Amino acid sequence: MHLPRLLIIVSLTLTLSSATSPAHRRRRPTPKQYVEIKRPLPFTSLTPSCTLPVLSHDFGNTIGLPSTYTHYNPPINCTWSRAAINLSVAANGTQKNRIAAVWLGAVEILRTSTPEPSTGDSFWIIEKDVTKYSSLLRQPNLTLAITLPNTVNGIFTGFYQLNLTFLYYSNDTSTNAVSLPLSLLPKTDESTMEKSEEIIRILDENYSPNAYDSPADLIIPISAIGGEGFWFIIENGSDVKQKELQIPLNTYRAVIELYISFHANDEFWYSNPPDSYIEQNNLTTGRGNGAYREVWVKIDNSTVGSVIPFPVIFGGGINPLYWNPVVSIGAFDLPSYDIELTPFLGMILDGKVHFFGLGVTDALSFWLVDANLHLWLDDNGVVVKAGTVVSTAPSVSIKRKSKFNKLNGKFKIKVKRKSEFSGWVSSSLGNLTTSVSEKWKFKNEIQYKKKGTYKDVEQKVTVKTEVEVESCDGSDVYSTTVRRKYPLEIKTSNVTGSEVGKYSILSDLETSMEEKRSSDSFTSSLVNTQKANGTMHVDYRVVLSGAANTSQSYSVSDEFGCYSRQVSAADGYISNDTRSVLCASSL
Ligand SMILES: *[C@@H]1O[C@H](CO)[C@@H](O)[C@H](O)[C@H]1NC(C)=O
Ligand SMILES: *[C@@H]1O[C@H](CO)[C@@H](O)[C@H](O)[C@H]1NC(C)=O
Ligand SMILES: *[C@@H]1O[C@H](CO)[C@@H](O)[C@H](O)[C@H]1NC(C)=O
Ligand SMILES: *[C@@H]1O[C@H](CO)[C@@H](O)[C@H](O)[C@H]1NC(C)=O
Ligand SMILES: *[C@@H]1O[C@H](CO)[C@@H](O)[C@H](O)[C@H]1NC(C)=O
Ligand SMILES: *[C@@H]1O[C@H](CO)[C@@H](O)[C@H](O)[C@H]1NC(C)=O
Ligand SMILES: *[C@@H]1O[C@H](CO)[C@@H](O)[C@H](O)[C@H]1NC(C)=O
Ligand SMILES: *[C@@H]1O[C@H](CO)[C@@H](O)[C@H](O)[C@H]1NC(C)=O
Ligand SMILES: *[C@@H]1O[C@H](CO)[C@@H](O)[C@H](O)[C@H]1NC(C)=O
Ligand SMILES: *[C@@H]1O[C@H](CO)[C@@H](O)[C@H](O)[C@H]1NC(C)=O
Ligand SMILES: *[C@@H]1O[C@H](CO)[C@@H](O)[C@H](O)[C@H]1NC(C)=O
Ligand SMILES: *[C@@H]1O[C@H](CO)[C@@H](O)[C@H](O)[C@H]1NC(C)=O
């Protein structure tokens, strides 16, 4: 099947955009909706106890301009225990994919990107649970900022219109309606009130599987000073962004949350060849440095943790036709990454200023990174003390193999990393020792064949993180194991036509986000896989036509129940969409 003649300009990053072509000059009768496939938030089908619209703004030519600000004040006379944001976005023309973020008091609460809308009206809705930022959401007079650098010109006409609303949910039955999410409906036939109580019980008991996991009491941003956004712009591997912080003396737990996105020469970092290949073939691309990146956190110059980010693909990535209307995993709500820092409290719980540093191994320009330090405070007036038990530098082995002859070649990177940190904290909860052990395996293989016109990228990331909290007598207070896998494979062929400037890109992609969590009281699992294949015909960086198939299989099982969804999309439309709230075990 072929799309109607599309006029899409492909930049070096394959960003999609389009000038009006005859077939598209007429507006779509109904606006087009883009979607990121995931489970609806379980509690958003309850009636919120309060709704607070905070910002409504059109982002036209915003590049280089300051963020858009407003004042945030928590809703008055509102009882709530959970909160969500609803970001409703519309575009009224062709536009490139753009990156955006929302900060509350300089603390990032959402990183998002736009698809590449074409002519006409389009929209999408992003709902996100922000309960973990509760302490912040209860503070008056905060600055809320949104940054969305966009450019409007004769070709890229689209303005992005954003409406941001906060929704607050109460666990008080009387204020909740009884429209229950299907996945939470009790199996037995009970009265609606009982159902409502049931859902609230599930939310209360299981949403925070352990009191230890409740929202932090204080969140300190490790972010830039604002201006054009509070994210740090990291331009290379030696670019370290630092912030001096003094943490409260009554802190008994600390977690750092990282927000990460990668752009320009590192937008597809996982497919970058080593520099030797680029240099010896006299290529002009800036996309080198090999295919390994690690975002790290240091305190006073010692590494306390790092992550390999999930490869979120933006709306123009690989083949722009793939992400219409189903966007790639994480494109609307980029994942953030938590690192348990409690074992390091012994280092920083001294009333002194410490340096928190963020950086990206082997980065090329540019990465947008910032962090939130979540702190839990002891308000019982006891003196909190902490000490380090085990803190050895992580053991890392990086093996790189590179073999090429002109444009054909094979590059392999294998990384193994193991870390173990442990520290005690004595507070009114007792003298607890937190141990964090983490093992990683990273494997990346890039193959070029057919004079470099065929490229196969295969990457596997496997991470196992164990957090264990023990009391003095050795009994477990809390323990959790998280296993993550991010497999990715992308094959592309560049078929050159007989005419100068004309070529076709055939590609095939598979990406997956898999996560299994287990602790004493619960287990959860998520498998979210996308497969796409297709062709695009390009003439001097303009996509004339193409065909694309995207399918996604999403399945989650946790304390809220089960939810699975299978979606197929082709050439801009969803062709098959099936949902189920049945758990595999009950089938
Ligand atoms: C979010 O906003 C959109 C657009 O206003 C609306 O359709 C949707 O129902 C809202 N979601 C929630 C959970 O309120
Ligand atoms: C808040 O609720 C109380 C008790 O119902 C009421 O007296 C007060 O006027 C309310 N305040 C506002 C600002 O609505
Ligand atoms: C934003 O809100 C305004 C006013 O309610 C509404 O007219 C507009 O359609 C909304 N836009 C989006 C993208 O939800
Ligand atoms: C898009 O919206 C902006 C702001 O409302 C408006 O100025 C612009 O003319 C609109 N563009 C199109 C193509 O409708
Ligand atoms: C709110 O904060 C601003 C600065 O961020 C300050 O100038 C203003 O006085 C504050 N208002 C109140 C009511 O605290
Ligand atoms: C890395 O980036 C920083 C920030 O832009 C710059 O000051 C520094 O010179 C760069 N270093 C190298 C080696 O390019
Ligand atoms: C790259 O350029 C150099 C110098 O111009 C030339 O000697 C060499 O043959 C070129 N290599 C390739 C693979 O084209
Ligand atoms: C961290 O390292 C840098 C460069 O190696 C050095 O200049 C700085 O003083 C160190 N900072 C601390 C807090 O040790
Ligand atoms: C807490 O326990 C650790 C060993 O588990 C011990 O070394 C430390 O002295 C204890 N701290 C306090 C304040 O009792
Ligand atoms: C595909 O090959 C053509 C002709 O060699 C080249 O101009 C074009 O940049 C290549 N496209 C991509 C996306 O690699
Ligand atoms: C994608 O793959 C399917 C099954 O392998 C094949 O039938 C289809 O033709 C391919 N589509 C494109 C556009 O390459
Ligand atoms: C739609 O998807 C479901 C589940 O993957 C499958 O069983 C069904 O046959 C598909 N229907 C069509 C029309 O392709």
Which atom of ligand 1 sits closest to the CA of residue 40? 13
* Of 17, 68, 92, best ligand 4 pocket probe by most atoms within 8 Å of the beta carbon: 92
- By CB atoms closer than 10 A (0-12, 13-18, 19+), residue 500 is exposed
In this structure, which residue's CA is closest to atom 1 in ligand 7? Answer: 282
State percent of the chain over pLDDT 90. 75
Query: Would the CB of 405 count as within 6 Å of ligand 2?
Result: no
Q: What's the pTM value of the predicted model, to 2 decimals?
A: 0.91
Q: What are the pLDDT digits (tens) for 457-470? A: 999 999 999 999 99
Q: What are the pLDDT digits (tens) for 444-459? A: 999 999 999 999 999 9
Q: What are the pLDDT digits (tens) for 495-510? A: 998 888 889 999 999 9
Pocket of ligand 7 (CB under 6 A): 281-282, 406
Model confidence band, residue 174 (pLDDT cutoffs 50, 70, 90): very low
Instruction: Tell me the residue ranges of DSSP E strands in 41-179.
Output: 50-59, 68-72, 82-91, 99-104, 107-113, 122-129, 142-147, 160-169
Pick from 561, 437, 573, 586: nearest CA to 182: 561
Query: Would the CB of 503 count as within 6 Å of ligand 10?
Result: yes
Query: Would the CB of 465 count as within 6 Å of ligand 1?
Result: no
The domain limits of the chain are 1-183
Q: Which of 257-266, 278-287, 393-402 is predicted with the least confidence, judged by mean pLDDT?
A: 393-402
Pick from 96, 101, 128, 131: nearest CA to 114: 96
Query: Would the CB of 505 count as within 6 Å of ligand 10?
Result: yes
Q: How many C-beta atoms lie closer than 10 Å to residue 486's C-beta?
A: 22
In this structure, which residue's CA is closest to atom 6 in ligand 11? Answer: 533
Query: What pLDDT sits at residue 213?
Result: 63
End-to-end alpha-carbon separation of the chain, Å? 36
Question: From the CA of 540, how far away is ligand 11's center (Å)?
Answer: 25
Model confidence band, residue 30 (pLDDT cutoffs 50, 70, 90): confident
Which ligand minimizes its atom distance to the CA of 555? 12
* Of 321, 533, 536, best ligand 11 pocket probe by most atoms within 8 Å of the beta carbon: 533
Query: Would the CB of 282 count as within 6 Å of ligand 6?
Result: no
Which atom of ligand 7 sits closest to the CA of residue 281? 13
Which ligand minimizes its atom distance to the CA of 153? 4
In this structure, which residue's CA is closest to atom 7 in ligand 6? Answer: 239
- Is 314 within 8 Å of 331 (Cβ atoms)? yes
Question: From the CA of 275, how far away is ligand 11's center (Å)?
Answer: 34
The helix (run of H) or strand (run of E) holding residue 63 is none
Which atom of ligand 1 sits closest to the CA of residue 84? 13
Query: Would the CB of 448 count as within 6 Å of ligand 10?
Result: no
Query: Would the CB of 355 count as within 6 Å of ligand 8?
Result: yes
Whether 476 shows a pLDDT value over 90: the answer reads no
In this structure, which residue's CA is closest to atom 14 in ligand 11? Answer: 534
- Is 499 within 8 Å of 242 (Cβ atoms)? no
Q: How many C-beta atoms lie closer than 10 Å to residue 523's C-beta?
A: 14
Which atom of ligand 10 sits closest to the CA of residue 12? 13
In this structure, which residue's CA is closest to atom 9 in ligand 12? Answer: 576
Which atom of ligand 1 sits closest to the CA of residue 44? 13
* Residue 334 tokens, joined: 């980029």
Q: What are the pLDDT digits (tens) for 399-418? A: 999 999 999 999 999 999 99
Whether 487 shows a pLDDT value over 50: the answer reads yes
Query: Would the CB of 76 count as within 6 Å of ligand 2?
Result: yes
Q: What's the one-letter identity of residue 300? A: D
Model confidence band, residue 391 (pLDDT cutoffs 50, 70, 90): confident
CA distance 275 to 139: 49
Mean of pLDDT values over 312-317: 95
**What's the CATH number of domain 1-183, 2.30.30, 2.60.120, 3.10.450, 2.60.40?**
2.60.120
CA distance 363 to 369: 12
Q: What are the pLDDT digits (tens) for 325-361? A: 999 999 999 999 999 999 999 999 999 999 999 999 9
- Is 352 within 8 Å of 369 (Cβ atoms)? no
Question: From the CA of 282, how far away is ligand 7's center (Å)?
Answer: 6
* Residue 571 tokens, joined: 């050439």
